[in-house]
């Protein structure tokens, strides 16, 4: 993910799985802020959205 | 350490409920699973601000749900939909109980939604109105004193330069 995209994502929606998938690695784990280039606030929003999407079975907990 | 937070039941918040309807109900019949909730909201005079009807989709992992006194069922697909409305805490508490007891809804999630902030449209610097030039204030406190300086014509200026260069 391009670090310059950090300013374009202020908050994440758990229903927007196509966007969230860009911030996951092939195993379904959330990429670190070092890799995503997001601000701390946006990274927290991302983590919350991914966890909500996992609960609703829109995203996997573990992908092989 | 336990904190008893006093929650005012009168506070109205924006909530969003997303749900998965059992694949036993066809996609076109899935909205019927939400009718009891909609009746509850209508009874409380709650206005639904946004909604998306359930759409059939494959789940990222199989969900095991045990019906009342029955064997666990495994679902690997369901209809996903959501509804957003403003209500108080009591209504949400009742909605939670209603959805938990529903046989057709295999999973649901209640979250506090954020109100949509209107996005400021991008405006090019070319189309922006020109900023007003601030009025200069001199040390003496008089406004625009620089403008009162005597005007020097081009001829006088040339003559003065010639004098200086010649000297």
Contacts of A61 in chain B (CB under 8 A): 61
Contacts of B18 in chain A (CB under 8 A): 14-15, 56
Better-predicted residue by pLDDT, A6 or B73:
B73
For the stretch A9-52, pLDDT in tens is: 668 999 999 999 999 999 999 999 999 999 999 999 999 999 99
Q: Is residue A51 part of a domain?
A: yes
pLDDT along chain B (167 residues), means of 10: 60 94 90 93 93 95 82 92 95 95 94 75 59 62 60 88 84
What range does the domain containing A48 cover? 3-55
Claim: this prediction has a pTM higher than 0.95: no
Per the listing, tokens 């959501």 go with B82
Q: Is residue A1's pLDDT more than 50?
A: yes
Q: Can you give the pLDDT at residue A64?
A: 78
Q: Can you give the pLDDT at residue B28?
A: 87
Alpha helices in B21-88 (DSSP H): 35-43
Query: What is the Cα–Cα distance from B4 to B164, expressed in whole angstroms?
Result: 87
With CA atoms as reference, the chain A residue closest to B107 would be: A56
Per the listing, tokens 């019949």 go with B29
Is any Cβ of chain A less than 8 angstroms from the Cβ of B78? Answer: yes
Say which residues have a Cβ less than 8 Å from residue B37's Cβ, sequence separation at least 6: B17, B83, B95, B98, B99
Q: Can you give the pLDDT at residue A3?
A: 44
Domains and CATH numbers, chain B: 13-112 (3.30.70.60)
Q: Residue B107 and residue A56: Cβ atoms within 8 Å?
A: yes
Nearest by CB: A57 against B61, B111, B114: B61
Q: Residue A52 and residue B60: Cβ atoms within 8 Å?
A: no
What CATH number did the domain enclosing A7 receive?
Answer: 4.10.640.10
Nearest by CB: A57 against B20, B111, B114: B20
Query: What is the Cα–Cα distance from B165 to A28, expressed in whole angstroms?
Result: 79
Question: What is the total count of domains within chain A?
Answer: 1
Q: Is residue A19 part of a domain?
A: yes
Q: Is residue A60 part of a domain?
A: no
With CA atoms as reference, the chain B residue closest to A49 would be: B111
């Amino acid at each position: 993910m391009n670090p310059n995209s950090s300013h374009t994502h202020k908050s994440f929606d758990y229903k927007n799985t196509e966007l969230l998938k860009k911030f996951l690695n092939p195993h379904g784990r959330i990429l670190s802020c070092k890799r995503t280039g997001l601000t701390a606030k946006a990274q927290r929003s991302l983590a919350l959205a991914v966890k909500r999407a996992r609960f609703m079975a829109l995203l996997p907990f573990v992908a092989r | 350490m336990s904190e008893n937070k006093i929650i005012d039941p009168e506070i109205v918040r924006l909530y969003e409920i997303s749900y998965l309807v059992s694949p036993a109900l066809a996609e076109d019949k899935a909205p019927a699973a939400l009718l009891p909730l909609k009746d509850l909201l209508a009874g409380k005079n709650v206005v639904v601000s946004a909604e998306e009807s359930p759409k059939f989709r494959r789940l990222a992992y199989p969900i095991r749900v045990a019906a009342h006194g029955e064997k666990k069922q495994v679902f690997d697909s369901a209809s996903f939909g959501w509804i957003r409305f403003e209500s108080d805490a009591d209504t949400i508490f009742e909605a939670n109980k209603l959805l938990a007891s529903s046989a057709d809804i295999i999973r649901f999630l209640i979250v506090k939604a954020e109100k949509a902030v209107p996005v400021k449209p991008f405006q090019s610097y070319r189309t922006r109105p020109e900023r007003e030039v601030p009025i200069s204030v001199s040390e003496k406190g008089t406004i625009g004193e620089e403008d009162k300086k005597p005007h020097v014509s081009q001829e006088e200026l040339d003559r003065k330069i010639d004098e200086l260069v010649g000297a």
